[in-house]
Chain A
Amino acid sequence: MQLTGAEIVIRCLQEEKVEYVFGYPGGSVLYIYDELFKQDKFKHVLVRHEQAAVHAADAYSRSSNKIGVCMVTSGPGVTNAVTGIATAYMDSVPMVIISGQVPTAYIGQDAFQECDTVGITRPCVKHNFLVKDVRDLAVTIKKAFYIAKTGRPGPVLVDIPKDITNQKCDFEYPKTLAMRSYNPVTKGHGGQIKKAVQMLLDAKRPMIYAGGGVILSDAADRLVKLARALGYPVTNTLMGLGGYPATDKQSLGMLGMHGTYEANMAMQNCDVLIAVGARFDDRVIGNPTHFGSVARKIIHIDIDPSSISKRVKVDVPIVGNLPEVLDELQKQLEVSSGVPDPKALAAWWKQIDEWRGKKSLKYKQGKEVIMPQYVIEKLYEVTGGDAFVTSDVGQHQMWAAQYYKFDKPRRWINSGGLGTMGVGLPYAMGVRFANPKATVACVTGEASIQMNIQELSTAKQFRIPVKIINLNNRYLGMVRQWQQMFHGNRYAESYVDALPDFVKLAESYGHVGMRIERPADVEPALREAFTKHKNDLVFMDFLTDQTANVYPMVAAGKGLSEMILAEEL
């Protein structure tokens, strides 16, 4: 059957069982939007800025493991989307972006709304395509979905010139794909896995370091099984929160720049480290030389060979898909006659409990000023620890990560790699589309929220009842913290002046607004928002302590065990 390119795009998305397309129309995608209008198999979510479309699709994917899809027009549509694409790329989120392009004959002519989309996005996508022939369209979209979700996932962009969407050809959606240049490894090397098992059993001070790969590959249950079988301590990265239950006794919480004392000390002092879907990021291990100054054996499981031995040399690399590798590891562990050394393990746990005794996350909540940490603790209580929490970027992000105890994967949605301010609200929208009944909280700050505040309009249109927890300290908090600690209290441009009245702003969009100024009002207000206003978007503007800092802190360039603790100041 002969279909136009625009019809083919729609049919391909239907074949891929897409539920939602997040997007914004424009000149070069008009034929596609026309076909989209004529069908009802999937819905389109109209955002107010293309960046938000990509973030929403990204969170849709993160919170469900379905592929997020977005659609933007050429030129500014694409350039607006770039921040969203780069954000997804840094956190390895599978996504497909369909972008319009000027007609083939106009490419390179500096046409209206033309930009070199493939060139601009190349460094921040897993792969991209420019479709030059309508007959290649279906197979290209098939490839895009396949590449996005296999191997180390990531965003894939398909750029389609306008004339292609109006040309006809026979349509058949390919059932299978063969790509000689792309064959991601899935099964781990058996010999390496055996070696890893022995190394784990020989450990005196073992440590499990689990990252975002655990979440992305749906390997959390396997990780829990393995950790429980061994009885070893587990720390999660910012991206890995929820990959191991935070309330479990073997959990040491988050590690890294703002990790717990016990997690960082155990990471630094362990003798055998198994890294599971993590990449030894600079915010995680601090100074790599300092980290490497302690002798330890490292096992590293990752789907991406280039993540292995990139920043830290490892002893046993295992390339493969986590669920398969962890299953095999578990199997090998069960057939092995060895058991962990109980004496050494008891001594190690005793040491860890001493570190825990530091209570590195404690803070003081007085009667007058709301502490931001307190808001997160109350949010955790009021939501029963079962909400999907999105965050923006800065201090509030770290507090949310530290004080909301995530027990399940895909509940914590934040921009870890790129650190993009403005993701919080569109992320909350994406989560809600993927999980229509879920309780969703967006933890943000008065600076971040304003970077995509126009999405309050989208939330109005689609009646998205998320709760915005605005920790309003009238500062770019994390910038102010660094300026206080490392730049002699010179607060260059970190004061956020001329703030809107967020309550009125929310109300003007038809939402509920609340301002909370006293500690005693925090919990009642949260209860009201999550019960009475269950079906409303509630913008909760918490006026918080202006100078609260995030602790513990490993300063940039310092070692993991060189933490600054709150009590030391």
Chain B
Amino acid sequence: MRHIISILIENEAGALSRVSGLFSARAFNIESLTVAPTEDASLSRMTIVSTGSDDVIEQITKQLNKLIDVVKVVDLSEAAHIERELMLVKVRAAGKDREEMKRIADIFRGRIIDVTESTYVIELTGNGSKLDAFLEAIDRSLILETVRTGVSGIGRGDRILKV
């Protein structure tokens, strides 16, 4: 099953490699990994999307907790949560495609953030399947470049991950 694991980790050099090294050394799967400092600059927050049986996910959380620099680990997907991903897509937008591209971006609540005579850069946020759906909806041959951040997640309501 797919799990979203959130980690608070000391914001020190090599923190990311400790986590990614753990995943590769133990043959755990990483679908995506995002990391950035939190409002407390001494801490980084990581969101990892992984798939595996319950036993594997249990091992992943235990092994993450075992890392000396890891302060907290939460499996967000155990309860109500929100996940979002940001995608930037550069598309060809010339001639008849220009208007069509704008319309589809609007339908998906995307924003056009860069414009040239022949291209748009569209910014889109949502869960992974929404971003996939957008790419499905436009003409594949018009996609010049895509970049996705990977999933960020947060618990709903009173579920708070903080030191």
A304 to B58, CA, bound (A): 13
Q: How far is the CA of A118 from the CA of B17 in the complex (A)?
A: 10
Answer yes or no: B68 CB below 8 A from chain A CBs: yes
* Contact string against B for A residues 262-286, beta-carbon threshold 8 Å, 1 for contact and 0 otherwise: 0000000000000000000000000
Against A, the Cβ 8 Å flags (1 = close, 0 = not) of B63-82 are 10110111100000000000
Mostly, the B contact residues are helix
Q: Which residues between 1 and 31 of chain B lie within 8 Å of chain A, taking CB atoms?
A: 9-10, 13-14, 17-18, 21, 25
Q: Most chain-B CB neighbours within 10 Å: which of A119, A182, A306, A309?
A: A306
Q: Which of B10, B21, B62, B71 makes the CB contact (< 8 A) with A305?
A: B62
The complex places the Cα of A313 from the Cα of B58 at a distance, in Å, of 12
Is the CB–CB distance between A306 and B71 below 8 Å? no
**A181: chain B residues within 8 A (beta carbon):** 9-10, 68-71
Segment 111-136 of A: residues with Cβ below 8 Å from B: 118-119, 122-123, 126-127, 130, 132
Is B163 in the interface zone, CB < 8 Å from A?
yes
- Answer whether residue A310 sits at the interface, using C-beta atoms and an 8 A cutoff: yes
A123/B17 in contact, CB under 8 A: no
- Contact for A310 among B21, B59, B70, B163, CB less than 8 A: B59
- A: interface residue count bin: 10 to 19
Tell me how far the C-beta of B10 lies from the nearest C-beta in chain A, rounded to whole angstroms.
6
- Measured in the bound complex, the distance between the Cα atoms of B24 and A119 in whole Å is 14
Given contacts A306-B62, A309-B55, contact A126 B68 (CB under 8 A): yes
Give bound CA distance, A123 to B70, whole Å. Answer: 16
Question: A123: which B residues are within 8 A, CB to CB?
Answer: 21, 25
Q: Are B68 and A127 in contact (CB under 8 A)?
A: yes
Give the distance to chain A from B18, nearest Cβ to Cβ, in Å: 7
**A154 CB, nearest partner CB in chain B, Å:** 10
| Chain A residues with CB under 8 A of B70 | 181
Cβ–Cβ contact B63 & A122, under 8 A: no
Looking at the complex, which one of B17, B55, B66 makes contact with A122 (CB distance below 8 Å)? B17
A279 CB, min distance to chain B CBs, angstroms: 13
Q: Is there an interface contact between A306 and B63, defined as CB atoms closer than 8 Å?
A: yes
In the complex, are the beta carbons of A306 and B66 less than 8 A apart?
Answer: yes
Interface check A180, CB cutoff 8 A:
yes
Pairwise interchain contact B66-A304, C-beta atoms closer than 8 A: yes
CA–CA, A507 and B70, complex, Å: 53
Docked-complex contact B59 and A306, CB < 8 angstroms? yes
B132 to chain A, nearest CB (A): 34
Encode contact with A along B13-51: 1 for CB under 8 Å, 0 otherwise: 110011001000100000000000000000000000000
A180 contacts B163, C-beta separation under 8 Å: yes
A179 to chain B, nearest CB (A): 8
Task: Enumerate chain B residues within 8 angstroms of A179, measured Cβ to Cβ.
Answer: 68
Chain A, Cβ-Cβ closest to B62: A306
- B14, B17, B59, B69: residue with the most chain A Cβ atoms closer than 10 Å: B14
Bound: A130/B163 CA distance, A: 25
Give 4 nearest A-B pairs by CB, closest first.
Answer: A306-B62, A127-B68, A181-B71, A305-B62
Q: Interface of B with A (CB < 8 Å)?
A: 9-10, 13-14, 17-18, 21, 25, 55, 58-59, 62-63, 65-66, 68-71, 163
Not counting A180-B71, A305-B66, a sample of 8 additional A-B residue pairs whose C-beta atoms are within 8 angstroms of each other reads A132-B13, A180-B163, A181-B9, A181-B68, A181-B69, A181-B70, A306-B63, A309-B55
What are 16 of the A-B contact pairs (CB < 8 Å)?
Answer: A119-B17, A122-B14, A122-B18, A123-B25, A127-B68, A130-B13, A147-B68, A181-B10, A181-B69, A182-B68, A304-B66, A305-B62, A305-B65, A306-B62, A306-B63, A310-B59
